[in-house]
Amino acid sequence: MSDEDGVGDADGADGIDAATSADASDDHHDFWAEAVADEIEQRVVKQRETTDEASGEERPVSRDPDDPIVIKGGVSPSGVAHLGNVNEIMRGYFVAEVLRERGHEVRQVFTSDDRDPLRKLPRKLADADGNIVGLGEVDAGALGRNLGKPYTDIPDPFGEADSYAAHFAALLAADAERLGVDIEMYSNTELYEDGSFDPVVERVLADVDTAREVLSEYQAKADADYVPFNPICEDCGKLTETVTDIDLDAETVDYVCTDMEVGDETIEGCGHEGTATFREGKLPWRFEWPAQWQVLDVDFEPFGKDHAEGSWPSGVDIADTVLDIEPPEPMVYEWFTLNGETLSSSAGNIVTVPELLDLLEPEVIRYFFALNPTRARDLDLERLDQLVDDFDRFERAYYEGVDDDSLTAFAEAAYPHVVDEVADERPIRLPYTFAAVLGMVDDPTLREKLAHDEGHIPDDADEATVAAALARVEQARTWAERMDNAYNYRLQADLPETAFDDATTDALDSLAAVVADGADGETIQAAIYDTARDHDIEPGDLFEAGYRLFFDETQGPRLGEFLGDLEREFVVDRLRRER
């Protein structure tokens, strides 16, 4: 691109090629959200035109110029808000941000699909702070009695929120807030109860034959008796699926509360025969999703690969054929794996936003979700340092550029949306593993000194800058502890129990004398070798003795330089096994 040598000289022959490629290179983007935003802009423009593109005929606009662009996400409140759910928030967020940057008004809405029935007991739940707890820590029996009922009709197992659904929705809203994403939460149940869905339910049931026909293309279930509406039994409170009559004028259905097959289990119906209004039940998901598009005027919705083959194609068809609305722009995101395995709350292979925020900054999480959504990727907590390093490099690419053009271009486009606010200068980022080394000591002053001596903190850094830089130390420390990895060492405040032979104790005493003389870190490092040799022991053994004394371990960080930074008297005393 801006390669100046060679290319210019050869231009006589390449002039045509150059012009051609320049013409074709316009819709390239360095950040996927920009390409998606292009699609949405085209959709919006089309909807504002008064001339139908295909027929050339005049038509009423389907979109008011003042209408904001609506981006949606949504999940079923099934027990734990885990990092996989965050896809639904963050993928849309980046598209929203790009559109806002281009001057559009954008609403990011989020549905809690909370009229869905509880189908089986979750093995894990998350408490109000996002901590994962087992089913045994709550009243599982109470939950079991509520199988088949909408989440909004089930009490919060923690006894705090209004319902199971409310508890979960609060978790997700809190996660969004932690990540700095402003979403408008919608309760599906409320959309039914306040009548928002009435027109859609009426339309679907008024043309139930068409609805059935469309769905049958995608699902075997849509047989001759199938009615795409599930009333809530007024007697037992469970969702049921046997509708016997539809009264469009009264906006009610008659039903029999029959058994519902859920996987290999059966949720028993109570046999009650009753009548429910359109507000006392729900559309099956494949209809409910398009219903949400209509009611919330959705322009764009990212969804996981599980929807790509099943409910998306049928949803498009239903939107088109039954509801006569234009489906939103889609985007399929690949699922990521956690520690090499698929996310699974039942197997316990999940991580929540609060858990992750103990280990790294929110901008690193946002960075993770700014990466190419179509690529399957792994989040490896053992190697979290890699992710953080990648983020640091990405940040550096934004401020200074790096020798990887595609990364620099990606950073220029994406970085402003990944951080809360773009600072004037690149923030100080301690390398994550170095921060883990600093985490071996508790004294904040010493941490700062170590970071400064290593050249990570400039002399003129003010207090706030230093504090911000050192914040990562706590995170890396927590990481080292949770992973119990090679950085999980801790400077021992008290003298550990030791058993050294005479040669080693003599060597330690000699080394103590060197330190007492005022040796700096490098000198101490060299002195360890010299002293070992003088006392006829292996340097490795002396190092090990040092690690035993200071960390109560056999290994640790670079010992000489580390000791050089500690308080001299303390080091001397410890080497002499006195404290």
Positions 68 through 127 that interact with RNA (CB under 7 A) = 75-76, 113, 116-117, 119
Q: Which is nearer to RNA, 149 or 250 (CB)?
A: 149
Mark the segment that binds RNA (CB under 7 A) among 54-62, 63-71, 165-173, 307-315. 307-315
54 binds RNA (CB under 7 A): no
Q: Which is nearer to RNA, 170 or 260 (CB)?
A: 260
Of residues 173-202, which lie at the interface with RNA (CB under 7 A)? none
Of residues 540-569, which lie at the interface with RNA (CB under 7 A)? 540-541, 543-544, 555-559, 561-562, 565
21 binds RNA (CB under 7 A): yes
Residues in binding contact with RNA, number by CB under 7 A: 95
Instruction: Please state the closest distance from residue 282 (CB atom) to RNA, in A.
Output: 6
Q: What angle do CA 445, 450, 454 make, to 5 degrees?
A: 145
Q: Give the tokens for residue 482.
A: 């949770």
Phi, psi of 331 (to 5 degrees): -150, 125
Q: Which is nearer to RNA, 336 or 415 (CB)?
A: 336
Instruction: Please state the closest distance from residue 184 (CB atom) to RNA, in A.
Output: 18
Whole-number Å distance between alpha carbons of 183 and 299: 15
Q: Give the tokens for residue 235.
A: 């007697």
Pick one of 105, 526, 569, 579: the residue that binds RNA (CB under 7 A): 526
Q: Which is nearer to RNA, 355 or 448 (CB)?
A: 448
Q: Which is nearer to RNA, 130 or 315 (CB)?
A: 315
Q: Which is nearer to RNA, 71 or 411 (CB)?
A: 411
Q: H/E element holding 242?
A: strand 242-247
Which x/- pattern over 454-473 shows residues binding RNA (rule: CB under 7 A)?
xx------------------
Closest Cα partner for 130 from 159, 166, 167?
Answer: 167
512, 575 Cβ separation under 8 angstroms: yes
46 binds RNA (CB under 7 A): no
Of residues 354-383, which lie at the interface with RNA (CB under 7 A)? 371-372, 374-380, 383
Instruction: Please state the closest distance from residue 131 (CB atom) to RNA, in A.
Output: 23
- Dihedral of the alpha carbons of 26, 29, 32, 38, in degrees to the nearest 10: -30
263 binds RNA (CB under 7 A): yes
Q: H/E element holding 165?
A: helix 164-178
Tell the burial category of 412 from Cβ atoms under 10 Å away from its Cβ (0-12, 13-18, 19+): middle
Of residues 386-445, which lie at the interface with RNA (CB under 7 A)? 386-387, 389-390, 393, 402-404, 406-407, 410, 431, 433-434, 437
Instruction: Please state the closest distance from residue 171 (CB atom) to RNA, in A.
Output: 16
Phi, psi of 507 (to 5 degrees): -60, -40
Instruction: Please state the closest distance from residue 120 (CB atom) to RNA, in A.
Output: 10
Pick one of 275, 505, 510, 523: the residue that binds RNA (CB under 7 A): 523
Q: Which is nearer to RNA, 71 or 370 (CB)?
A: 370
Closest Cα partner for 354 from 558, 40, 65, 86?
Answer: 86
- Cα 493 to the chain's mean position, in Å? 38
Question: Residue 108: how many CB atoms within 10 A of its CB?
Answer: 23
Q: 531-562: string of b/e by CB count within 10 Å (b at 16+)?
A: bbeebebeeebbbbbbbbbbbbeeebbebbbb
